[in-house]
Structure 1
Amino acid sequence: MKIAVVILNWNGKALLEQFLPSVVAYSAEANIYVADNASTDDSVAFVKANYPEVSIIQNTVNGGYAKGYNDALKDVNEDILCLLNSDVEVTEGWLTPIITAFETDSNLAIVQPKILDFVSKTKFEYAGAAGGFIDKYGYPFCRGRIFNTIEEDKNQYNNAEIFWASGACFFIRKDVFESLAGFDESFFAHMEEIDLCWRAFNIGLTSKYISESKVYHVGGATLPTNNPKKTYLNFRNSLFTLTKNASGFLPGLIFTRLVLDGIAGIHFLTKFQFANIIAILRAHFGYYVALSRLLKQRKAIQQQPDYYNVKSIVVQYFLKGKTEFNRL
């Protein structure tokens, strides 16, 4: 079984200088690629000069995470694709349990390793932690991270099926990626991996968390957590994903989301984060502009019930005070 590690880069020379060495040192089983999203710095020249064993794929435009990987992966033919953020430090032996999992389970489509925080290495990292889930209304959360509460890693989350895997370190079979037509490029960035995992779930494929594989993620290296652009993309793309993939009465789901997103806006108001309030309003406007296209996509997807294990993570977290996954 052949495996490719593909790092998407955009003006990220400093990140490549810091994190590419661990990937090269600990990924002997893989072919390594840097997929460049039309960078204007000298990051490509840096890789060519210092890591000739790393293959370069040069995209013609910066299409964000979704289009960037869709374009780049057309030139990658290995059986298993690892989509790795440029701000991830990998560890010795990180690929071995992942390869074993794919080799022993033919229905396994997508895998995520344990993602810990690069700075606070005993804690999970926000983007993925120990594998992701989603509530009835499309709000994502993780084993080890619910909203902004992040747990310490005490080996409390072992191998298990999950609903979605983090795009920070995302393994997928090449044939599955192609059969799903890759990422939805309208997302640009953020939550496109959840949409892809949901579409895989809808056709009966499995995603899994492998605790024996461990990486450290900086997180927010491209956009900080409270950046209004990130807020806009997360809220809009969450609505995109919900509309395309959720079973049930869609108008009721969207109305409930409208109310819950309004409550999130009030939360930002209490913190005087007015730019984030505007971002939520823009996200809903962008959603309604795209609604006709999304409904056409919905018709082409067979939605499956029982996609959520918690009806409302908002209620569980904010009203019932359940801040850890094992308490849900």
Structure 2
Amino acid sequence: MRFSAVIVNYASWPHTLRCVESLLGAGDPEIVVVDNDREEPPELPEGVRLLRNPENLGFARACNRGLRTSSGEIVVFVNPDVIVERDFFERLGEFFCGAPQAGVAGPRIVDGTGALQLSARREVNLASGLLGRTSLLTRAFPKSRLVRRMFPAAGEPGAPVAVDWVSGACLAARREVLEELGGFDERFFMYFEDADLCRRARQAGWKVFYLPRVQVVHHTGASSGDRTRAILRLHKSAFLYHRKHGPHGPFGIYDLLVLLGLCARAGVRLAGTLRPQGE
């Protein structure tokens, strides 16, 4: 089984080089780096393809460009700040070969300290708006029934489990699925393009799986850039996702309520960025 790995770089070359090194150490994948940055890139290992964009086109558009120039049966979209383990492609290949109904899959993701990241999720709803992956409620009650239901990874399953959505920090998909769906929806500049892709895959009859025995390390935030801009983009994408997939209600009343809720949530997050250090 032939693998392609697509990395989108933006102001994160040191992380991108480490990611490339880990991918090469795990097998012989085709690697495509799509550069959204204007800085002069460093020299890449032989065989790694570099595609440079004239400006920051966003994550979804950059991923699609990398997809179109790759050829692997399985395409792995991986963030620059992710390090894969040496058995990554071996275990991933074993899973896809044994699960013909699987269209998309995501590995177990831990941070630099080894702490589990809740990368496998159920469908977006009101509860997920309150129970974000890093929200106070989720961190306070990580083993609660509600958290385990919203985030299947929290239950630490021992075998692959079907889920609604896996994180785009490291997401593997069959090429035939990606071609059937037309890749990522490029209206999502950043965030929620993974949820949208997984939802469309499920609607097309494919399954999405969380793979607890395939592990990567994700140094969260190393390539996210300006935090204020990231918060605004996150909530803008959340509203786009609702507009595309959620109920609208009579006279668009649900849209208005969701918009107000997201604005309030973004305001709280932005206020936190203005808090003086040390408080």
TM range (shorter): 0.7 to 0.9
| Aligned mates of 1:110, 1:168 — CA distance in 2 | 13
TM-score with structure 2 setting the length: 0.81
- Over the aligned positions, Cα root-mean-square deviation in angstroms equals 3.0
Q: Structure 1 unaligned runs (5+)?
A: 275-328
Structure 2 counterpart of 1:62, one-letter code: N
Counterpart in the other structure of 1:133: 122
Does structure 2 retain, via aligned residues, the 8 Å contact 1:133–1:140?
no
CA contact (8 A) 2:110 2:116 kept: yes
Question: Is 1:124–2:116 an aligned residue pair?
Answer: yes
Q: Relative to structure 1, is the Cα distance of residues 239 and 46 closer, same or farther in structure 2, using a 3 angstrom cutoff?
A: same
Equivalent position amino acid for 2:64 in 1? N
Give me the whole-angstrom Cα distance separating, in 2, the residues matched to 1:270 and 1:257. Answer: 20
User: SS at the partner of 1:167?
Assistant: coil
Question: Per-residue deviation at 1:223?
Answer: 2.5
Pair 1:203 & 2:201 matched: no
Cα-to-partner distance string for 1:158-203 (whole Å, 9 max, x where unaligned): 3211111111101011121121111122221111111111122222
Q: Is 207-216 or 258-267 further displaced after alignment?
A: 258-267
Q: Counterpart in 2 of 1:65?
A: 59
Please, which moves more after superposition, 131-140 or 63-72?
131-140
Partner Cα distance (2:58, 2:208) in 1: 24
Return the letter of the residue paired with 1:35.
V
Partner of 1:217: 218
In 2, Cα distance between equivalents of 1:106 and 1:269: 44
Q: Which amino acid aligns with 2:189?
A: F
Maintained 8 Å contact 1:114/1:213: yes
Give, in whole Å, the separation in 1 of the partners of 2:219 and 2:212: 19
1-structure distance, mates of 2:263, 2:241: 19
Identity among equivalent positions (%) equals: 22
SS of 2:209's partner is strand
Shift of 1:5: 1.3
Q: Which residue of 2 aligns with 1:229?
A: 229
Q: 2:102 aligns with which of 105, 108, 123?
A: 108
Which segment drifts farther, 102-111 or 144-153?
Answer: 144-153
Match of 1:53 in 2: 47
Q: CA-to-partner distance for each residue in 1:119-168, whole Å, 9 max, x for gaps?
A: x21x123xxx34122343494699x9353545599872332111111111
Q: Give the distance between the partners of 2:107 and 2:15, measured in 1 at CA.
A: 21
Q: What TM-score does the superposition give when structure 1 sets the normalisation length?
A: 0.70
Q: 1:136 to 1:103 in 2, by over 3 A?
A: same
Structure 2 unpaired stretches of 5+: 144-152
Contact 1:138 1:238 in 2 (8 A): no
Letter in 1 for 2:43: F
Letter in 2 for 1:133: R
2:170 is aligned to: 169
Is 1:88 the equivalent of 2:76?
Answer: no
Structure 1 pair 140–6 and aligned structure 2 pair: CA distance change class (3 A): farther
Residues 82 and 55 (structure 1), Cα distance of their counterparts in 2 relative to 1, 3 Å cut: same
Q: CA separation in 1, counterparts of 2:273 and 2:216?
A: 35
Q: Is the 8 A contact 1:114 1:211 kept in 2?
A: yes
Report the CA distance between 1:60 and its aligned residue.
Answer: 4.3
1:212, distance to aligned residue in structure 2 (A): 0.7
Q: Secondary structure at the match of 2:242?
A: helix
Q: Deviations over 1:198-231 (max 9, x none)?
A: 122222221100111000001112326x822111
Q: Are the equivalent residues in 2 in contact too, given 1:130–1:157 (CA < 8 A)?
A: no
CA distance in structure 2 between the partners assigned to 1:65 and 1:213 by the alignment: 24
Residues 34-89 of structure 1 deviation map (CA, whole Å, 9 limit, x = unaligned):
2223x33332x421xxx113233334442111111112211111111000111111
Q: Which of the pair has the greater relative contact order for Cα pairs under 8 Å at 6+ separation?
A: 2
Q: Distance in 2 between matches of 1:272 and 1:6?
A: 31
Report the residue type matching 1:5 in the other structure.
A
Matched residue, 1:145: 133
Q: Distance in 2 between matches of 1:131 and 1:269?
A: 26
CA 1:157 to 1:36, structure 2 compared with 1: closer, same or farther past 3 Å? same
Q: Secondary structure at the match of 1:46?
A: coil
Is 2:179 the partner of 1:178?
A: yes
